[in-house]
Amino acid sequence: MTDLPGIVITGCSGRMGQMLTNAVLASDACKLVGVLERTGHDWVGQDVGAAMGGANVGVNVTDDAVAVFAKAQAVIDFTAPEATVGFAELAAQARAVHVIGTTGLTEDDLAHLDAASHHAVIVRAGNMSLGVNLLMQLTKKVAAALDEDFDIEIIEAHHHHKVDAPSGTALMLGEAAAEGRGVDLKDVSDSGRDGITGARTRGDIGFSAIRGGDIVGEHDVLFAAYGERIKLSHIATDRAIFARGALKAALWGQSQKPGSYDMIDVLGLKDG
């Protein structure tokens, strides 16, 4: 038991944080060595099991990232961009695998993560489910097969608490479609439509975001031409799929060299 890789969960009080914590506690392939929350949070100092409403598990919630990362072989991080950038530097110093499910990262944030990846393994994905990553590969292949007579629209739906749009998964799918067409998504992205927008530009990749209720995550990639439509879809009904994927990534990363990876790497789905 003592030589199992030690995992730290950041943002442990959130929905994903609790699910990730429980996934690690239930696993026989790793052990929970730390859980983090922001300074001043009510959970700091409490046993995380008790804080989640269950029995003590022997791991107290802390706000000291430096101390807890020093004990970790991997950090699983579904928090916020500013926090993730800071965690990346600390994980790199500890040579711990950093699994990132945080969305809403800017180009500057990604540059910081790239610098950290020179010293440690970073696995970053806007969505860590097997199904979504297969959908990405299918999207790329269909986009490559169809010309610009087919408009591409990515429609995503999430719960009303989600703060960013388009979702990280929608952007991943947009990148896959753009790659299939051999273009840069930044040059063809069409989102945030409102008012008199004019006709759609040929070749653009559009995004539509729906927010409501407790929707876990639904993503459609629509290829629409005159007289026919093709739709690729993925529906998530349980956040446990993301926790399982993140844990798989944390364990996979133990045998990798420092660098930036994604779930396509983890799942062995890379072309060629």
Enumerate the active-site residues: 158, 162
CB-facing half-sphere around the CA of 81: CA atoms within 13 A: 14
Q: Do 27 and 272 contact (CB within 8 A), yes or no?
A: no
DSSP-derived letter for residue 82 is: H
Q: Do 168 and 110 contact (CB within 8 A), yes or no?
A: no
| DSSP string over 166-225 | S-HHHHHHHHHHHHHHTS-HHHHEE----SS--SPPTT-EEEEEEE-TT--EEEEEEEEE
Residue 51 Ramachandran class (φ > 0 left, ψ -120 to 50 alpha, else beta): alpha
- The residue behind tokens 């944080």 is 17
